[in-house]
A and B are shown apart, each in its own frame.
Chain A
């Protein structure tokens, strides 16, 4: 498995001089690219506290999506070597110091229909849905 979180993934975000939130850089976790519509779930915890879905925006190649919009993006592919960012609005950002970041990413592997055996293959399938979890500590 490839990590979701790499070095320096956590940063406070500023609007002018004001700290207005923070961002977490994440990678797609898989060996190939996939459509953003294949993201079934993204969850983020900071220091053990789960961030509300509504407070997270997914930023990819400069485009910003609310998590509820991702399911519609079947023409937009997330490249293997290209990061995305989870942008969280939080006035004051994160206090200086160490923070534990945990990310869970659940994806639908769209080219692996299941079941996929001669006996059971039907027109409609469900799909393989691996879950990736990564956790790292950062200083910001």
Chain B
């Protein structure tokens, strides 16, 4: 394996095991280190860092000590910009988004990590204002590049403009391999819709449409025949807007190549395995090939999204996928 590219795990991958009480945070860390044999991990602040986004020093020390105790590198702190948290208005202002993004830098610094995965909810203007704070706290802030946004799309292009214009080495990207999805994420349908009071016939319709790779625009039109109730419509819209990654889409290879020089961390997304132990709809092989061809030095952080979909136990599935990743890295 090329030494400059390591494999790690986002602890988010163990969501089911964690929130059903089977694994404590320390158990998650031990699983990554000893059972999966990995050197580094990402922690999702909003899930495992008590008090997020303002964890106490005691809570931070607790996490830091657990990583140190087991010799696992805390490579990335994942932040989530809760731009819709206020009930009295729709979105946070740029000033508020910046305040929270700076706070995330403070926490990452205290945790001893140098990479943040930040979400696209912050604007390019905020991204630019954040750069000197990121430098001050010695943290590289990477915007997660995740569908429906694509690396070659206009939105990401505005972030690239900021990076190139400012020349800052502290703002960049964290691409997620879901941008290499080649089919609808039908496996996620169950987890996305079934608990949200969406009728079975609507779920069946969407699953069939996904399996057939039908045009997204046509599916959106056809679903009108179901006369969706308000909460069904909201759930389906959520599926379309957030979980649907385009049907029969080609991997955005050129787009990924374009952002690799500005990439601080990489997410290898996993929903379910095919026979080769790659994801059933994400072409992680092509994704890893682009990373190998770049000068990237860092982790491919595996992110298993099982709690949203198939609910298969994480560890055996991740072990198999790691075999696949090691094989591709060594080819």
Instruction: Please determine whether A37 and B91 come into contact, CB atoms closer than 8 angstroms.
Output: no
Least CB distance, B328 to chain A, in whole angstroms: 29
- Residue of B whose beta carbon sits closest to that of A112: B242
Q: Closest 10 interchain pairs by CB?
A: A110-B82, A71-B87, A32-B46, A110-B84, A128-B238, A110-B85, A127-B84, A1-B195, A111-B80, A35-B85
Least CB distance, B281 to chain A, in whole angstroms: 19
Asked, given contacts A113-B121, A131-B196, whether A35 binds B19 with beta carbons under 8 Å apart, the answer is: no
Q: Enumerate chain A residues within 8 angstroms of B149, measured Cβ to Cβ.
A: 116-118
Instruction: Give Cα distance in the complex from A38 to B88, angstroms.
Output: 11
Q: Enumerate chain A residues within 8 angstroms of B81, measured Cβ to Cβ.
A: 111
Inter-chain contact total with CB atoms closer than 8 Å:
120
Instruction: Please determine whether B84 and A108 come into contact, CB atoms closer than 8 angstroms.
Output: yes
Residue ranges of A at the interface with B (Cβ–Cβ < 8 Å) = 1-2, 31-35, 37-38, 71-72, 74, 77, 79-81, 106, 108-118, 121, 123-133
Produce 1/0 per residue, B67-111, CB < 8 A to A: 000000000000011111111101100000000000000000000
Task: Find A113's partner among B19, B51, B91 (CB 8 Å cutoff).
Answer: B91
Most buried by A among B20, B82, B197: B82
11 CB-based A-B contacts, threshold 8 Å = A71-B87, A79-B51, A106-B231, A109-B238, A111-B84, A113-B121, A116-B241, A118-B148, A118-B155, A124-B90, A133-B197
- Residue of B whose beta carbon sits closest to that of A129: B234
Task: Please classify how large the interface on chain B is, using the bins under 10, 10 to 19, 20 to 34, 35 or more.
Answer: 35 or more
Instruction: Please determine whether B153 and A118 come into contact, CB atoms closer than 8 angstroms.
Output: yes
| B298 is an interface residue with CB less than 8 A from chain A | no
Task: Find A37's partner among B20, B86, B196, B238 (CB 8 Å cutoff).
Answer: B86
| B213 is an interface residue with CB less than 8 A from chain A | no
- Residue of B whose beta carbon sits closest to that of A82: B50
Asked, given contacts A74-B85, A77-B51, whether A111 binds B119 with beta carbons under 8 Å apart, the answer is: yes
Instruction: Give Cα distance in the complex from A109 to B150, angstroms.
Output: 22
Instruction: Please determine whether B154 and A33 come into contact, CB atoms closer than 8 angstroms.
Output: no
Instruction: Please determine whether B87 and A74 come into contact, CB atoms closer than 8 angstroms.
Output: yes
| B140 is an interface residue with CB less than 8 A from chain A | no
B220-244 residues with Cβ-Cβ distance < 8 A to A are: 231, 234-235, 237-238, 241-242
From DSSP, what is the main secondary structure of chain B's interface residues? loop
Instruction: Give Cα distance in the complex from A81 to B306, angstroms.
Output: 19
- Residue of A whose beta carbon sits closest to that of B196: A130
Least CB distance, B267 to chain A, in whole angstroms: 16
Asked, given contacts A32-B44, A110-B82, whether A128 binds B87 with beta carbons under 8 Å apart, the answer is: no
Q: Enumerate chain B residues within 8 angstroms of A37, measured Cβ to Cβ.
A: 85-87
| B52 is an interface residue with CB less than 8 A from chain A | yes
> Given A33-B47, A33-B52, 19 other A-B contacts at CB below 8 A?
A37-B85, A37-B86, A71-B87, A77-B51, A77-B52, A77-B53, A79-B51, A80-B47, A106-B231, A111-B84, A112-B238, A113-B84, A118-B148, A121-B155, A128-B237, A130-B196, A130-B235, A130-B238, A132-B195
Instruction: Give Cα distance in the complex from A124 to B283, angstroms.
Output: 33
Produce 1/0 per residue, B140-171, CB < 8 A to A: 00000000111001110000000000000000
| B307 is an interface residue with CB less than 8 A from chain A | yes
| B112 is an interface residue with CB less than 8 A from chain A | no
Instruction: Give Cα distance in the complex from A67 to B12, angstroms.
Output: 31
B230-281 residues with Cβ-Cβ distance < 8 A to A are: 231, 234-235, 237-238, 241-242
Task: Find B90's partner among A31, A32, A34, A125 (CB 8 Å cutoff).
Answer: A125
Instruction: Please determine whether A31 and B19 come into contact, CB atoms closer than 8 angstroms.
Output: yes
